[in-house]
A and B are shown apart, each in its own frame.
Chain A
Amino acid sequence: MTAATPVVRRPRTSPGVVVRQVVLAILGVIWLVPVYLLLANASKRPEVFGEYSVWQPGDLGGLVSNMADAWGRGRLSLGTLSTALYAITSPALAVLVGAAAGFSIVALRLRRGFFWFVLIFTSTVFPLQMILMPLFIGYASTGLYNTRTGMILVYTVISVPFSAFVMRNFFSGIAHHVFEAAVVDGASPWRIFWRIYLPMSGPALVAIFILQATFIWNDLLLGLTLSQSETVRPVIAALSALQSTYGGSAMSTVLAGGLLVSLPTVVLFLATQRAFTRGLSLGQF
């Protein structure tokens, strides 16, 4: 705009940086509006729900009582407890199974290891729709339908390929001399796996665990297909049922239920963002 006087090096807060910050801040505020609407309306007491504008917040007491309502009358309590069981047990098992497969392929140099790896990993490529109906039939005929064991089994298996994928990549980064040295010291493969390789892979194991626990907590499709009763049905399927049966003035209860169900994964995600990011990058590249 002005004359082309030779300008000294631009200061660190250049106009470009300010513009970027403003654009990001505006977008960020837009992104938070639905979160605000959720909190504002989940905290309104049902009896006065219609008297407020949707933009006005309720109060903390209302939020607590609506959550209690969703938890008790809305039947989210049993689903939450079962889902917590699934989201802890299955990723833990899957991490071990996947790590064992990675250990076999990388450290023990399994014959045709790459073939077996592709076999395990490729099963994540096809959509869940491909296995739902046979699983439903198989579960119904073996008595696994609508049991916690059945849910833990299916969630574990679903988590194994990703776990094997990440662990194979991670173990590839450990020098094979580590394995050979342990062999010279007389350690068995079993011992090397438990005492050397697993303890060395803490960050990867945690990253897989967090990603898979989040996935299982948020699952709807397997829960809808393989469970029915309130004691076995995962919490997201329970929320979906709550949404269908409640409505109108009970909207605040449904929203409080949505908030309640989302809190664990959001808190876990925000608290472990670094591990989460690491897990994503381990899995993707």
Chain B
Amino acid sequence: MTAPTARHAELLPRQRSRNTYWLSSAGFVAPAVLLAAVVLYLPFLYTTYISFTEYNGLGDPEWVGLENYVDMFTDPGLVNSLVNTLYWVAGTLILPVGLGLMIAVLSHGLPNATLFRLPFLIPYAISGVAVGVIWSFILQTNGALSQVVGFFGVDAPRWLLDSPLNTFVMIVASTWQGAGVNALLFGIGLQSIPKEPLEAARVDGASGFTLFRTMTWPMLTPLTTVVVGLSIVGSLKTFDIVWGMTKGGPGGASETLALTMFKETFQSNQYGLGAAVAVFLTVVTVAASIIYLRRQLAPGRSA
């Protein structure tokens, strides 16, 4: 019974697996698909539907078309969140990504590279709220940073009260948390660059910044795409640090879209508006994700 089947398997493995294992293959993939469908995709569809309605959680949702979306781009509070979110995206690309690249390049090939990178990695494992606790303390009135600034004879600004300064200092706090992991990723990329072309360029006289600009940077592009994509996606969703430092205040001045979604939905019971913000965030996030997902999901890599 087994022998002929086995020989058959050797001859036509693909054909055979399709015929024999369709039931078990469906069984093995079913838990993941079912969980994703019920807990992720159904809610996804429901939020999309609610974004076109007026709904406060009680009674029935009332269809209002694009009204919530119009509100999102006209209401001053929401526009402010939108602008803050753009600050976060731009700031994250400049600071944590730029510094991460710098740390990776500086430490690459050093004898004690791991040791030099360690200080930057510690904050990465800390939650955004704990980062917020630490930095709120540093930034409080007459706190550590104000004393440092005062030492140089400058009057300290009200770090967390004035807008848009509060958003900028929170981006600094998130840089403190996130630069290390970008350095780690760029480090992986640098290690995977073949040595020979670099050596050849060095023999030809290239060194320092020229070597980096003409050789290392172009070869690092695939990884840079991933880091940039991840950073954009991450910064669009900024929530924890802001929640831990200002809760979006004062008076919504430092809110990001992620915070606005949460507050509109769970504090103001404006489910429709909250859902519209969520949908908008999703559209932008997906657009940004395509930058790096194209690499991950390239058909050539399919199983």
Contacts and interface: CB of A to CB of B under 8 A. Distances in A.
Contacts, number: 295
A197 B257 CA distance: 43
A54 B136 CA distance: 13
Nearest to A126: B282
B47 A133 contact: yes
Interface in A160-219: 160-161, 164-165, 168, 171-172, 176, 180, 183-184, 186, 188-190, 193, 214, 217-219
Interface string B223-253: 0001000100100110110011001000000
B185 interface: yes
Contacts of A8: none
Contacts of A168: 303
Contacts of B214: none
B9 to A, nearest CB: 6
B176 A121 contact: no
User: Chain A binding site: helix, strand, loop or mixed by DSSP?
Assistant: helix
Interface size class, chain A: 35 or more
Interface of B: 2, 6, 9-10, 13-14, 17-18, 21-22, 24-29, 31-33, 35-36, 39-44, 46-47, 50, 57, 99, 103, 106-107, 110, 116, 118-130, 132-138, 143-144, 147, 176, 181, 184-185, 188, 208, 226, 230, 233, 236-237, 239-240, 243-244, 247, 258, 261-262, 265-266, 271, 274-275, 277-279, 281-282, 285-286, 289, 293, 295-297, 299, 302-303
B33 A116 contact: yes
Contacts of A31: 119-120, 122-123, 176
B204 to A, nearest CB: 17
B243 A240 contact: yes
A119 B123 contact: no
Contacts of A97: 31-32, 35
Given A28-B119, A110-B26, A243 B244 contact: yes
Interface of A: 16-17, 20-21, 23-25, 27-29, 31-32, 34-35, 37-38, 41, 54-55, 97-98, 100-101, 103-106, 108-111, 113-114, 116-121, 123, 125-138, 153-154, 156-157, 160-161, 164-165, 168, 171-172, 176, 180, 183-184, 186, 188-190, 193, 214, 217-221, 224-225, 236, 239-240, 243-244, 251, 254-255, 257-259, 261-262, 265-266, 268-270, 273, 277, 280-281, 284-285
